[in-house]
Structure 1
Amino acid sequence: MSPATPFIPDTYWRSLAVFNLFRVTVAIGTMLAGFVVSDRLFAYQEERDLYYTLTSVYLALTILHSITVRFRRPNFRIQLTFHMASDIGFIVGLMHISGGLKTGIGLMLLPYLAVGGLISRGRTTLFHAALASIALLLQQSYHFFIQDGGSGDFPQAAMLSIACFAVAWLAHRLSSYATESEQLAEKRGIDLANMSQVNQLVLQDVSDGVIVIDDQGTIRQSNQQAERLFGPGILAGKTLLVEYAPTLALAVAYWRAGAVVEATQPVASTDSRLAARPRFVPIRTARAEGGVVIFLEDMERVRREAQQLKLAALGRLTANIAHEIRNPLGAIGHAAQLLAEETTDPTSRRLVEIITSNTRRLNHMVQEVLELNRRDRVQPVEIRLKDWLDQFVAEFRDVENIQTTVPLNCPESVVVRFDTGHLHQVLWNLCRNAWRHGRKQEDSLRLTVCRYYDVWALEVADDGPGVSPELERQLFEPFFTTEAQGTGLGLYIAREICAANHAVLEYVPPPAGGAVFRVTFDFNS
């Protein structure tokens, strides 16, 4: 389509095709009627022959119009004009053969003009009415000057011409209203689509899980956080809440019955480590009510946020204390070294070694506490994870002196945003723990990158004994450790670093045994 050719919607062409199908039906019906009643309508054979010729030509034209409409060549306006011209010629010719205006056949022009005006949206309707009027006046002029010798029905022709223009003008107005309504509906549809998209974005961005149900208990909308709490499998408009989350459906039933205490109790999710506290908001509209918006507050997230508030003040305090401890701790370590050089007594040397060992351990703990204040110094960059992990695994095997292979499964196209130094620190801590607690055999340490809902996740797995269920909640708490020489800050710092990079670090107990730590990237970005 050239730039000068106006765009014609498909609805215009479909309307023209349906109108042309009507023409074909009229042409066939008129021809069949001629075979049945032509002897009573026409007294002369010449009139009957002219009638058959006219209907045959009109039928051929309608078939030709069907072909041109099918291929949409030439353009819409030219085709519609030719269609209307053939209709006017056929009706006026039929009227002329049958005896003129007194037969009433000329009134058939009015519905044709009306439909043509509605199809063209009024742009050429008055032109079609002018063609019909000219054809009527020419037919009457022929009767007046040639055929009947001065007996024409010009007043009736003038009245029918006025009626043609009136119908054309009415079709023009109706088509204008239809066009305005169509444009308004299209604009409202665009606004509605935009509002729906904004609503979906807001729904997915909120930290709480959201489930919208109707009065029948069918889930109409949900977000990713809700599926994270209660598992995937929601089909909007098809999934029933009682089948998807029976405990949550029971809480809704309590709420509708007025049992506030039972309705607001935390609801267990599919993951035994997670629980959600529901909050219900009724949906009331002018037409109906009964729908409910269910907000699901992740109790684990609430617990973490409360812990963060407590630890924020504690972190500032411990950082100041660590700064104050570091200098005297260095002096104690230096003094122990001097004592070790001067003493020869075995007992004294053993005591000096105890001082040195514990000084080194305290210094390591102070260093990790100071690292907590550096979590906000984030410089995220785009990392091609496959290449970065290949280099990391090679470095880790060299430093830790690992002779076995470390399987790495990562798609080539994965790109994440993370501070490279932070990612190195987090992953080194996770891999070192996995190797230390694993069996130190082939595939004891495994790294896997996979899709987790709509984001990428990196999983570090080992084949060790795993973490007992009673210790899972304390796993990321500061200063919690099961090792005699551990500080209990490694996993806590790793989780804080991940949070600073808009990621989530969590422990996933695998059903086959061992332990899996998952880093979910761009979780809140």
Structure 2
Amino acid sequence: MSERTLDGGLDQARRSSLRYLNLFRLILAGLFLAAGREMNLGGAAPNAFVAVSAAYLGAVLLLGFPDAVRRIGFNRIVNLQGIIDIVALAAMMWASGGYRSGMPVLMMAVLAGSGLVSRERTVLFHAALATVLVLSDNVWRSLSGGTPGDFFQVGMACMGFFVIAIVARLLARRAQANESLAASRAAELANQQAINERIIRDMQDGVIVLGADGYVRHANPRASELLGVALAEGTALAEAEPGLAACLLDGTCGSSGLRRLGRTGRSVRCRAMGAGGEGGDTVIYLTDYDEIQRQIQQLKLAALGRLTASMAHEIRNPLSAVSQAAELLEEEKRGDMQARLIRIINDNARRIENMVRDVLALGRRDEVMPDAIALREFTVALVEESCLGKDEERQVYRVEIAPSLTFAADRSHLHQILANLLVNARRYCSGSPGAVHVYAEEPEPGAVALHVADDGPGIAESDRAKIFEPFFTSHPKGTGLGLYIARELAEANGAVLDLAASNTGAHFVLAGRSKP
């Protein structure tokens, strides 16, 4: 703690003590003036006692205003008030018959008060002044017929002046130093608390402090963002987010892996631990696992990009040679074996071509030219393209999209996303009429959600978390890049592609904006 801080705390404490000391002086002066005779004071010189009491009251009123402190200065006015106190009490002691009037006791009280507001040398000066005046009065009275024994009592009183002045000043100094230290510690604590709040507010993880009664005591903005609900102080967690409250009650929070919580449906890893206080508070940490997955995917993509940049061009060279050889073999028409070889060559050539096309699509992720695409017209055209004009194939698809709905995306990107979803749905559906259901809805103004659902066997629970990973596929002729690239292209257009819960078949949802 700096010297300037300590001095500032002492000055403030001294000024506060001076106000109470001035109030004591005002009461004492008024009591002397109003009831001095009733207290058997001023018997030796009544008129002088009344005059001194009136003058003392006037001095207290004159020097007790804050304006006097501002004009004269704090240390000067404290010194002046102490001198006036000692001189006035000494004069009243003389007018009341000497030290037996009890005035030395009041001098001790005044010296104790002076020790709270004065500096060390000033207090000692006041004690010395009181000693001189009391001794002078006693000497004058002894010369006028007093007894020598009076000097012993007076001497003891004068020693008490110095003892009380020194002790009062030391205690006041310690009390003021402790007060200043406490104020400094409070300021440091408030500053540290502000820093901690700033750190918690800017954390990437959500933080919730939950009371023992189940009400939120504190939550940073990240927690509200992850859960999609406002977590103001005093909010009941069971009402704001029942899923999180349930896992806290059954003790599975932090022990059962990931959870999809809140209105956003994000994958969140939660950890709960006691705050360590007496109130039984619980601190809950929420980590956005979707964000971690995106970062991991970006790292994978960076490594994959270096590989595929050269792989795509290297594959296309032999691919063109294979295709050309297949065409030559087809022209010769030399038997069933050659036809079988031609079919194998063509199948593998198409498979390699699809892989190359998917890999190259990764490089076009950032080439986004969004447009408000008429969703029904676009989807119907894509279905017609995949059906190749066959009526029985067209009946497999059931499209229910309002003509007014639009989807904000790059046209080529949306074509690739939707084509991939339709191919997968057609591959696994039953093939009956309406087996692939394509419909759209508007959950809120400005938003649109496109659904592609089929009536096939669905996706195994163990595979649901891996279907968007690159090179993961359950089809023998699949590349494992279709859904991964579809999600990447969706995110590049500000949309979200996810797998929705479904009792039968697979159900994909592409959610985005209606206008760019």
TM-score > 0.5, shorter chain as reference: yes
Q: Secondary structure at the match of 2:209?
A: strand
Q: Specify which of 16, 19, 34 is matched with residue 17 of structure 1.
A: 19
- The residue that corresponds to 2:340 in the other structure is none
Secondary structure at the aligned position of 1:72 is classed as: helix
CA contact (8 A) 1:87 1:112 kept: yes
- Cα contact 1:210–1:293 (8 A) shared by 2: yes
Partner of 1:144: helix, strand, or coil?
helix
Name the counterpart of 1:26. Answer: 28
Whole-angstrom distance in 1 between the partners of 2:47 and 2:157:
28
Q: 1:252 pairs with 241, 248, 252, which one?
A: 248
Q: Equivalent residue for 2:434?
A: none
Q: What CA distance in whole angstroms lies between the structure 1 residues aligned with 2:38 and 2:164?
A: 31
1:138: which partner in 2? Answer: 133
Q: Within 5 Å, which residues of 2 pair with 1:93-492?
A: 93-120=91-118, 124-145=119-140, 149=144, 151=146, 153-231=150-228, 233-236=230-233, 238-255=234-251, 260=252, 264=256, 269-284=261-276, 288=278, 290-305=280-295, 307-308=297-298, 311=301, 313-325=303-315, 369-370=362-363, 429=368, 432-434=370-372, 466-468=448-450, 492=488
Q: SS of the counterpart of 1:433?
A: strand
Instruction: Go from structure 1 to structure 2 and tell me whether the alpha carbon gap of 1:321 and 1:463 turns closer, same or farther (over 3 Å shift).
Output: farther
| TM superposition shift of 1:194 | 4.5
Partners of 2:452 and 2:74 lie apart in 1 by: 76
Compute the RMSD of aligned alpha carbons.
5.1
Give me the identity figure in percent: 28
Q: Which stretches in structure 1 are left out of the alignment for 5+ residues?
A: 333-359, 373-424, 447-461, 480-485, 499-504, 509-513, 520-525
Contact 1:329–1:363 (8 Å) recurs in 2: no
Q: Which amino acid aligns with 2:280?
A: G
Task: Pick closer, same or farther for the CA change 1:42–1:107 going to 2, 3 Å.
Answer: closer
CA distance in 1, matches of 2:162, 2:321: 108
Larger displacement relative to structure 2 (219-228 or 306-315): 306-315
CA–CA separation in structure 2 for the residues paired with 1:210 and 1:106: 66
Q: Distance in 2 between matches of 1:488 and 1:10?
A: 69
- Aligned-partner SS, 2:269: strand
Unaligned 5+ runs, structure 2: 323-352, 378-405, 409-443, 454-464, 472-481, 498-510
Pairing of 1:27-66 with structure 2 (within 5 A): 27-34=29-36, 37=38, 40-43=40-43, 47-66=45-64
* Alignment partner, residue 503 of structure 2: none
**In 2, Cα distance between the equivalents of 1:106 and 1:469?**
98
Match of 2:72 in 1: 74
Specify whether residues 516 and 24 from structure 1 end up closer, same or farther in structure 2 by C-alpha distance, changes over 3 A only.
farther
Instruction: Check conservation: 1:438, 1:464, Cα contact below 8 A.
Output: no
Q: Aligned residue pairs: how many?
A: 393
How does the TM-score come out when normalised to structure 2? 0.60
Query: What is the CA distance between 1:228 and its match in structure 2?
Result: 0.8
CA distance in 2, matches of 1:82, 1:445: 87
Query: Shift of residue 227 of structure 1?
Result: 1.4
> Is contact 1:283–1:290 with CA below 8 Å preserved after alignment?
yes
Taking the aligned partners of 2:515 and 2:21, their CA distance within structure 1 comes to: 64
Task: Please give the alpha-carbon distance, in whole angstroms, between the structure 1 residues aligned to 2:195 and 2:160.
Answer: 52
Find the aligned partners of 1:27 and 1:330 in 2 and give their Cα distance: 116
**1:298 to 1:313, Cα distance in 2 relative to 1, 3 A:** same
C-alpha spacing 1:247/1:7, structure 2 compared with 1 (3 Å): same
Matching residue within 88, 91, 113 for 1:90: 88
1:322-352, CA deviations, whole angstroms, 9 ceiling, x for partnerless residues? 34357789999xxxxxxxxxxxxxxxxxxxx
User: Hey, what's the Cα distance between the residues in 2 that align with 1:227 and 1:170?
Assistant: 59
What residue is the counterpart of 1:352 in the other structure? none
**Distance across 1 between alignment mates of 2:268 and 2:189:** 32
Deviation (angstroms), 1:294: 0.9
Deviations 1:407-442 (A, max 9, x none): xxxxxxxxxxxxxxxxxx6xx82x623467699xxx
Which has the higher relative contact order, 1 or 2, with Cα contacts under 8 A spaced 6 or more apart? 2
Q: Which one has the largest radius of gyration?
A: 2
AA matched with 1:322? A
